[in-house]
Structure formats: structure tokens, C-alpha cells
Amino acid sequence: MATDVESAERTVTLIVPTVHHRAALFDRVLRYLAHAGFKCPIIVSDHSSPAHLDVIAGTVKRHPALAITLLQHPPEMHFLRRLVLCASAAETPLVHLHADDDFLVRPTLNLLIGEMTRRPELAAAMGLNVHVTMETGELISLPKTGIQNAKPFERLIATLETFSSVLYALRRRDEFIASLSITVDRCPDVQFWQYLETCVAILNGPTAVLADLHYVREVHAAKWSSTLVNDRSSEHFPYLILAPDFATKVTGFRAGLAAACEQRGVPYQQDAIDAGVIHLLHRGFGAMGLPEKIIPPAESSDDPMVQLSARFSDLADPITNELNRIFHVAAKE
């Protein structure tokens, strides 16, 4: 007889995209899900080439305890379109995207299910995320902010200013499908679809963040985000800012935000959107990490400003006297 926890988990479908050359990571996450006792149905998207379709299929067969449905998609199909097909095949009201190299924390998932059930107005619910280095056990927290504003446009601006992606949050299936479908049509490029997808979801409802460990993301050389930086990808920050079509992509993103508001009948102010986009880009530019500096920075003791600042405490120093003169004369204006 199913427990309440097991029954709740069966209302969530985990969506796991993968490909043949990541089979070892995929096998590891399936081992983890089975070991932790997850009862969620799982839909896997395999976008391997036809010559390698047996790799992921073989991995799935090694985990009969998990309720896995395998979908095979063309290698050239856009990532978001594959997710839409997976979510459309799901028979549950809730879905949760799960990377093939990450780890969802089962007790927190059940808390999130309860939160989404208790609060039908929510578009998404998540807990705290961390990056982990397995060799050392080092944990680095990834900030997450819930957006609770009642008005959709206020939620949008708050999201632009304090961006917290909901891509790997617990989502309502229909909302997930709708948000991704709009996003891939408006902003198919990788940097801006990540932004637009969350912004569209936020227009659909508030988000909740619980103070519980939710999602563990391993730091390793094969991680998608690491390869983007190492390969100097012009499709993602930081090198995207040098791409010839960067301005065009920003314009498309701004237009996508306005279109999402219009489709939902949400009054918007373009000036507020533009200011929010600047906040978003400023924050996102360095979020992936900047290139290493070629020239080592100078020692702080060689910094002229450090040397000058030390002189300000000497009241007999001519420089201090002149600075005080400036303050004195300016105060008389």
C-alpha cells in the first residue's frame, strides 16, 4: 500500500535530458534516484545520433525499479522543444526538470509538493541550491529568491532585478509547457531563453523558496556551463558580449518580455523593463565566471591610492592640508 509520500511523488514527473556521451553521468543519477527511493515517474529525452541510440536505452534497462519512459529525439531538436515533448507526454499535474549530473533531494521535493498543493497560485516552488565539488566536499550556495508580489508586472521587474531561475524548480505541467513554448519561439538562443523562460513563468504566478536543501549541482569539467566558458562560446556570457549579434539578441529578449505581458493582458512600462534588463545583464555578465587575468595584479603596497590614503591620517602632510582647504572653501559656498 502506497504511503502518503509515495502518492504525492507520483504527482510529479521528473524530466531528464541526456545523450550517449554522458551515459556514465546518466547512470549515476538513476542509481541515486533508485537508492533514495523516488517514486516519481521519469521521462528521459535522449538526443543521441541514430548510431548511438542503444547507449541510453541500455542504461535505462539496467534500472527496472524506476518507472522510466524513454523518448528519443533528433540531435538537432532544440532543447526546449524536447522538454515540451517530454512534459506533454507526462500524465502528472507537476513536473521537475532534472539534469543528468545533478541530485534532487527527496525530502525537500515532498515539501515542495505540499507547498504547490497548498498554494494553487504558485507558478513554481524551489528550495536552496548548492554547487558541490565531490573530491573535496566543498559546498557553495547558489542564491535563490522567491518572488511574492501580487501584481504580475511587479513580479517581472523583481525577477529582472534579482534573477533566480525557475528552470529546475517544481512546476505545474501546463504552465511549464506554455512558458517553454513561448520562449523557444521568441528567444531560441541559449543565454536569453534561460532568462525569458523564467520571466514568462513569473508572469503566470508567484514563486516560493523554502529554506531546505533542494538541488545539488556537481562542479566538474564536463558540466555544460563549464564547457561554455572553456570553449569561449559566443552564445553565452561572458563571451556573448563580444558577439556581433549581441545587440540583436538583447532587442529580441526585450521584445519577448513585452509580448509576454501583452499576451497575458498585463500592463507594462517599457522604461521599467529596460532598466530591469540592464540590472539582469550586469548581474549575468560575470555569473559564469570571467576569463583569468593574464597579467598578475600589482601588490597592494604598490598601489598609489593605497599609499595616498595612508597619508590622510597625517595632519602635518601638505596633501592633507590641501584636502582640508578644499573642504573648507567648498563649505562656504
* Domain layout of the chain by residue ranges: 9-100, 103-290
Which CATH architecture best describes the domain 9-100?
Answer: Alpha-Beta Complex (3.90)
Query: What are the residue ranges in the chain where pLDDT is below 70?
Result: 1, 220, 222-230, 298, 300-301, 333
pLDDT digits (tens, 9 = 90+) for 289-315: 778 888 887 676 677 888 888 888 898
Q: Which one, of 215, 8, 9, lies nearest residue 127 by Cα?
A: 215
Q: Which one, of 244, 228, 242, lies nearest residue 190 by Cα?
A: 228
42 and 66 in contact (C-beta within 8 Å)? yes
Percent of the chain with pLDDT over 90: 78
pLDDT digits (tens, 9 = 90+) for 200-254: 999 999 999 999 999 999 986 766 666 666 678 888 888 899 999 999 999 999 9
Residues 226-252 as b or e (16 or more Cβ within 10 Å = b): eebbeeebeebbbbbeebeeeeebbeb
34 and 62 in contact (C-beta within 8 Å)? no
Task: Indicate the angle between helix axes 190-204 and 270-285, nearest 10 degrees.
Answer: 130
Measured CA distances, 313 to 300, 302, 327, 330 (Å): 18, 19, 16, 21
**3-class DSSP assignment, residue 119:** coil
